[in-house]
Amino acid sequence: MVALLTVEKLTKKYGTKTIVDQISFKFGHHKCVALIGPNGAGKTTTLRTLAGLLRPTEGTIQFESQAKNQDIRSWIGYLPQYPSFHSWMTGKEFLTYSGRLAKLTKIEAATRAIELLKVVGISEEASNERISRYSGGMKQRLGIAQAIIHKPKLLILDEPVASLDPIGRREVLVLMEQLKQEMTILFSTHILNDAEEVSDELLLLNKGKIIESGSLQDLQKKYQTTVIKLEIDDSVDIYQEKINALESVANTKIERGALFISTVDLKIAREEILTLAAKEHWPITTFSINRASLEDMFMRVVNN
């Protein structure tokens, strides 16, 4: 893999308090990478340091083909968690203004603004309205547009959908899927369903340290367990003891009236449970095989 970005032993301290602690990672082109962690894990500090807004205490940040002491801003587009806009401007005016700040010519900035308004799904009519009239989702999409006005190789998004309603959240996630065809996206989130939906690679951050990293598929294979969900038209307590006695079953738990069964061997457990149920005529209403979610995996890694 040709690395777009390589980070080595990145550390950020404020006085004696270490916020980001010796983290190292790298990723390539046209990836969507999720930086996952609970609030206070160091996600925003990491992203602000990568974007050049904070100076690292220790460590190195190296972009592909970057010369020593070269300004990295041309490589990076950045959208903070709470972006601010000149509300009296129209969307088109704001993007054109952003393009000029990014050293595009007047014609380039105006052309790029029109192009990006279409990309992020803001209509021509809406592009001529004041930003103060925009919905939360529209503002977030406009913010992404200004972050990529100069065609960066890496787009950094800090909690891009955390404050949006379901419609706005869906619009931004779809846009991220589209944009990773043109650039790499690194975004932070504590909403694990979003990471699971759009990311190719994961960086799991906790208390300033990366506790796990890799492709979504590799981490799922490493950590995820398979669970059988059983619902019975009767008290499940009666059946739990019988299922626990099976050698193919690791453990069971009851949640909301359903029995969740962790298996030693899924194939054998499924056959044994269904054979026993058929023999004793259990009134089963649901028998399903559930893959543990990214949230389950993250909790397991953190707790270990």
Query: How many other CB atoms are found less than 10 A from the CB of residue 170?
Result: 14
Average pLDDT on 247-273 reads 88
Please tell me which residue, 303 or 93, carries the higher pLDDT value. 93
Containing 42, the helix (H) or strand (E) segment is none
Q: What is the pLDDT of residues 188-238, one digit of tens each?
A: 998 888 888 899 999 999 999 999 998 888 887 777 677 889 899 988 888
* Helix spans in the chain (H): 43-50, 91-101, 106-119, 124-127, 136-147, 166-179, 192-198, 216-223, 237-244, 266-280, 294-303
pLDDT of residue 289: 85
| Cα(227)–Cα(260) distance, integer angstroms | 6
Q: What is the pLDDT of residues 20-29, one digit of tens each?
A: 999 999 999 9
pLDDT of residue 92: 96
Instruction: Please state, rounded to an integer, the average pLDDT across all residues of the chain.
Output: 90
Average pLDDT on 160-189 reads 90
Q: What is the pLDDT of residues 109-152, one digit of tens each?
A: 999 999 999 999 999 999 999 999 999 999 999 999 999 999 99
| Cα(117)–Cα(196) distance, integer angstroms | 27
Q: What is the pLDDT of residues 72-81, one digit of tens each?
A: 788 899 999 9
Residue % of the chain over a pLDDT of 90: 63
CATH for the 224-303 domain, from 3.30.70.380, 1.10.10.10, 3.40.228.10, 3.30.70.920:
3.30.70.920
Range with the poorest average pLDDT among 108-117, 178-187, 200-209, 250-259: 250-259
The pLDDT of residue 184 is above 80:
yes
Range with the poorest average pLDDT among 109-118, 274-283, 285-294: 285-294
Looking at CATH, the fold of the domain delimited by 5-221 is given as Rossmann fold (3.40.50)
pLDDT of residue 263: 84
pLDDT band at 292 (very low <50, low <70, confident <90, very high): low
pLDDT of residue 224: 67
| Cα(255)–Cα(236) distance, integer angstroms | 10
pLDDT of residue 297: 76
pLDDT band at 1 (very low <50, low <70, confident <90, very high): low
| 67-74, long-range: CB < 8 A, 24+ apart | 74/150, 74/152
Give pTM, 2 decimals: 0.82
Ramachandran region of residue 132, left (φ > 0), alpha (ψ -120 to 50) or beta? alpha
213 touches 23 (CB < 8 A)? no
Average pLDDT on 282-293 reads 84
Q: Report strand pairing: 201-206 vs 32-36.
A: parallel
pLDDT of residue 204: 93
Domain ranges of the chain: 5-221, 224-303
